[in-house]
Structure 1
Amino acid sequence: MFTGIVQGIATVEEITTAPGLNTFVIRLPDDKVGGVTIGASVAINGTCLTVTRQDGNALYFDAMQETLRLTTLGRLEPGDEINFERAARIGDEIGGHLLSGHIHTTATIVEILRPENNVTLWFEVPDEWTRYIFPKGYIAINGASLTIGEVQGNRFNVHLIPETLRATTFGKATEGDEVNIEIDSQTQTIVDTLARMGYDQPPMSP
């Protein structure tokens, strides 16, 4: 499990491509690899991957074809920067909301607004996922736990403070960038439960 509090920015150093599998070498800051073991879970742009090898502060991860298809990881290139979070431990403070590291879909940044001292990012998601997106609800974007601002059709925005921009890759985001989306699990459970009970149906005309 993860908390959605991004622990820093890491750099993709190398990618080895094989049929149905990509191996990523990702270099973390020196002070963020203490206690890492083979088999440990790390969220890479919100995607839970397993450490298969360690060489100093460079960690190796394998991503299967399904992971590459469902997330943005298949479009990473050497030199790209990513958000990372090591798995939460019992007793850790949950500053965001609980995440599984299982990506539901991707979204595209369609507009960036820069009012004084903050940034607003607008995202567009596939229509079938809009049922889980509500103003003031939780969402994880590239592994960062964020609060949804406004929702307009299949678009929504988030408002980012300077600290979030500093600690994540959002500080360098550009329009057209694709991001990984994990829907809040409690929201998804409630919406799906109501749908099974028939409460998502439009009212019948008199």
Structure 2
Amino acid sequence: MFTGLVEEKGLVRSFVKGGPSGFLTIEARRVLEGLEEGDSIAVNGVCLTVTGFDSCAFTVDVMAETLEKTNIGLLAPGAVVNLERALKIGGRLGGHFVTGHVDATGAILSSRPRGIAVELWIKAPPEVESFLVPQGSVALDGVSLTVADLKPGAFMVSLIPHTREKTTLGSKRVGDLLNIEADIMGKYISYLLMRRGIGQSERITPEFLAEHGFI
């Protein structure tokens, strides 16, 4: 489990692909502190298991499903990625619960400055659209963000200067693919509603939740 608060940006040293899987080595500093084999690290929001490390880099195995479902397969040596270690029991939860299991990828549709922020409109694939709610949480490339606006097939987030500086989102451009993980609470609520016979196609809104007794 993660929080969506990126600890540092890492640099891809190598990505060796063999058949449907591969081995990814990333140079880092902070996430190496106290690291052990078998630990989990979120790389661009994807939970991956450490299989080896040295004083300045770590290696993870990347399975076929990860390559197919996320933007990890697009990485090449020299690429910069977001890194976060798994949440420790008793640690502060400054973002929201992020599992590291990406639901889909979505392309950046537009990017425009507004005051000190930058507004990004992201394509919302069907796998995540029904889980998005205004002012709800969403993880983009492992970064915990708030859904600022919604329209059919797309949603908007606002990036403050700190987020643009400390994560890879500040360097993203229109057309780039981002890993999207919907808020796990929305997934549980959707599952419960489906068990009650309420269709997933109905958008989850604060009014909808109140009507059905969730808030």
Shorter-chain TM-score above 0.5: yes
Look up the match of 1:50. Answer: 49
C-alpha deviations, 1:105-154, integer Å up to 9, x for none? Answer: 11110100112211111100223421111111111111111110110001
Look up the match of 2:11. Answer: 11
- TM superposition shift of 1:195: 2.7
Look up the match of 2:142. Answer: 143
Amino acid at match of 1:91: G
SS at match of 1:132: coil
Look up the match of 1:99. Answer: 98
- 2:11–2:78: 8 Å Cα contact kept in structure 1? yes
- TM superposition shift of 1:202: 8.9
SS at match of 2:114: coil
Mapped to 2, the partners of 1:71 and 1:202 lie a distance apart of: 24
Mapped to 2, the partners of 1:128 and 1:8 lie a distance apart of: 28
Look up the match of 2:210. Answer: none
C-alpha deviations, 1:60-82, integer Å up to 9, x for none? Answer: 01101111111111111111111
Look up the match of 1:76. Answer: 75
- 2:31–2:84: 8 Å Cα contact kept in structure 1? no
SS at match of 2:130: helix
Mapped to 2, the partners of 1:202 and 1:61 lie a distance apart of: 37
- TM superposition shift of 1:199: 2.7
RMSD after superposition: 1.6
TM-score normalised by L of structure 1: 0.94
Look up the match of 1:120. Answer: 119
| Same amino acid, percent of matched pairs | 37
C-alpha deviations, 1:144-170, integer Å up to 9, x for none? Answer: 111101100010000111111111001
Mapped to 2, the partners of 1:186 and 1:31 lie a distance apart of: 30
- TM superposition shift of 1:172: 0.5
C-alpha deviations, 1:3-44, integer Å up to 9, x for none? Answer: 11111111111111101211111011x343110111110000
Mapped to 2, the partners of 1:128 and 1:169 lie a distance apart of: 24
Q: Is 1:41 aligned to 2:40, yes or no?
A: yes
Mapped to 1, the partners of 2:200 and 2:123 lie a distance apart of: 24
- 2:8–2:30: 8 Å Cα contact kept in structure 1? no
Mapped to 1, the partners of 2:200 and 2:58 lie a distance apart of: 48
Look up the match of 2:66. Answer: 67
- 2:31–2:83: 8 Å Cα contact kept in structure 1? no
